């Protein structure tokens, strides 16, 4: 048997025998000829064979030809088949300029004739049948992009001597807000699903690792039904030692974004344009940086005033400042900096000359926040004081404070939601479109 060839590799082969395998996308069953569009994980190719509708007595191969014709006529969309035939390059063939003339066809797995979803099915319906939805070339491309994006960032980290860590997702106590924790039974006690790897990223700094990264799951018990929230998501995290301020973290962050976008544009730019009608732009550095207070004044002048009284930026404010940055700088990214201590975690370092502000930022991409970063507080006495300011009891996080009682370098880092980056890169309307299997308040299956 000829070794299976991926569709994407057919163009480089000379005319001759070939075997391809995949699922049936369409069948055109004409009176004298049959066509199949076969798709595998790399692309689609046209298959063709003459149709034999009845036995011919003086043709010893007639029965086999008739059986092949009847098999093809009965193929349902989505059936997995393996086909051996003759590859022929022909510029007249619209699909790739080549086709395979079928010699033999084996049905490896027949599909039910009625497909449960269609091109116009709702997002919820498509999520119910996610494995079928992912056969769509557009959906398939998303995860190739994700792979390329993460690989490029990982190359940057490795080339710059970062250490990869894998932190536990079962926690004895909260890392940020106890209100957003999932509780799970853990033998004779209670554990919590990690909201972020924050504490353990910082532990690595006290351990002398210097520079670390992690790509892993995070969990938030947040009953939000927005297009950008999930109860389980993939978090991209990095932490570095010996920084002067959050400016060092922002520099790392933008370098990683540029590495990822450059790789995606080089490898998938044409396909993204074809399937998503989106032109991937590699952002110029440095990204614009605007203090939050200044950003609020800018959008107020644009006719919108943030209604919140908690010193934060709301979604409309994010969209407005992003529009301003596009108009003023021609940029899709902006760092909003210097958030108030009142809305930041206790471990964010505060300004030396203004304890009401923190050395922190949010990264806004196309009008949506994708990441929070900051310089961390590494002085244990200051950490304890900031805990108390937040109404926390330091003894509850004694294990965390131990990380700083035996010496710790200045450090900082960020956590970034992978799905949000992909959603905004591809101009999709929901992170459900770019998450392999979405988890939200009302979805636990498939």
Answer for the pair 192, 410: CB distance below 8 angstroms, yes or no: no
Question: Nearest CA to 145 among 433, 371, 370?
Answer: 433
Q: Which residues contact 439 (CB under 8 A, 6 or more apart)?
A: 230, 231, 232
96 is in an annotated binding site: no
* Collapsed DSSP state (helix, strand, coil) of residue 203: helix
Distance between CA 36 and CA 99 in Å, rounded? 10
Helix (H) or strand (E) holding 43: strand 43-50
Distance between CA 379 and CA 409 in Å, rounded? 9
Burial of 183 (0-12, 13-18, 19+ CB in 10 A): exposed
417 is in an annotated binding site: yes
Q: Which residues contact 251 (CB under 8 A, 6 or more apart)?
A: 286
372 is in an annotated binding site: yes
418 is in an annotated binding site: yes
176 is in an annotated binding site: yes
316 is in an annotated binding site: no
Cα–Cα–Cα angle for 293, 298, 303, rounded to 5 degrees: 125
Provide the CB-side half-sphere exposure for 275 (13 A, CA): 15
Question: Nearest CA to 177 among 194, 201, 159, 156?
Answer: 194
Question: Nearest CA to 47 among 14, 21, 67?
Answer: 21
Per-position b or e across 98-108, b if 16+ CB within 10 A of its CB: bbbebeebebe
110 is in an annotated binding site: no
Answer for the pair 196, 415: CB distance below 8 angstroms, yes or no: yes
DSSP labels, 252-307: HHHHHHHHHHHHHHHHHHHHHHHHH-----PPPSSPPEEEHHHHHHHHHHTT----
Binding-site annotation, residues for L-aspartate: 176, 220, 372, 376
Binding-site annotation, residues: 176, 220, 369, 372, 376, 417-420
């Amino acid at each position: 048997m000829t070794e299976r060839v991926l569709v994407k590799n057919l163009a480089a082969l000379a005319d001759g025998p070939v075997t391809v395998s995949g699922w049936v996308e369409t069948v055109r069953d004409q009176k004298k000829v049959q066509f199949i569009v076969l798709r595998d994980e790399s692309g689609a190719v046209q298959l063709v064979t003459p149709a034999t509708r009845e036995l011919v007595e003086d043709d010893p191969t007639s029965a086999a030809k008739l059986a092949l014709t009847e098999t093809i006529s009965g193929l349902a969309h989505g059936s997995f088949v393996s086909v051996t035939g003759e590859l022929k390059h022909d510029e007249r063939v619209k699909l790739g300029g080549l086709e395979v003339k079928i010699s033999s066809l084996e049905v490896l797995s027949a599909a039910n004739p009625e497909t449960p979803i269609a091109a116009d099915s709702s997002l919820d319906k498509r999520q119910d049948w996610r494995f079928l939805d992912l056969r769509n070339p557009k959906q398939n491309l998303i995860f190739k992009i994700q792979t390329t994006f993460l690989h490029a960032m990982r190359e940057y980290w490795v080339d710059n001597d970062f250490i990869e860590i894998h932190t536990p997702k079962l926690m004895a106590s909260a890392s940020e807000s106890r209100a957003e924790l999932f509780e799970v039974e853990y033998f004779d006690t209670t554990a919590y699903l990690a909201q972020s790897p924050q504490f353990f990223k910082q532990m690595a700094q006290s351990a002398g690792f210097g520079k670390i990264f992690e790509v892993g799951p995070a969990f938030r018990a947040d009953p939000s039904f927005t297009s950008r929230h999930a109860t389980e998501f993939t978090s991209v995290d990095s932490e570095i030692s010996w920084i002067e301020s959050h400016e060092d973290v922002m520099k790392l962050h933008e370098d990683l974004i540029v590495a990822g976008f450059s790789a995606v544009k080089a490898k998938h730019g044409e396909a993204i344009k074809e399937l998503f009608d989106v032109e991937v732009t590699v952002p110029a550095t440095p990204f614009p940086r605007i203090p939050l207070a200044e950003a609020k004044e800018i959008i107020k002048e644009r006719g919108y005033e943030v209604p919140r009284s908690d010193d934060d930026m709301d979604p409309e404010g994010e969209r407005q400042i992003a529009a301003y940055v596009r108009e003023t700088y021609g940029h899709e990214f902006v760092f909003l900096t210097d958030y108030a201590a009142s809305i930041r975690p206790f471990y964010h370092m505060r300004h030396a000359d203004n304890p009401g502000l923190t050395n922190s930022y949010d990264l806004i991409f196309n009008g949506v926040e994708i990441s929070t970063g900051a310089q961390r507080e590494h002085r244990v006495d200051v950490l304890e004081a900031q805990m108390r300011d937040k109404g926390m009891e330091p003894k509850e996080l004694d294990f965390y404070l131990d990380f700083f009682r035996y010496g710790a370098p200045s450090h900082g880092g960020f956590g970034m939601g992978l799905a949000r980056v992909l959603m905004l890169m591809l101009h999709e309307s929901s992170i459900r479109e770019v998450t392999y299997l979405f988890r939200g308040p009302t979805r636990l299956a498939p």
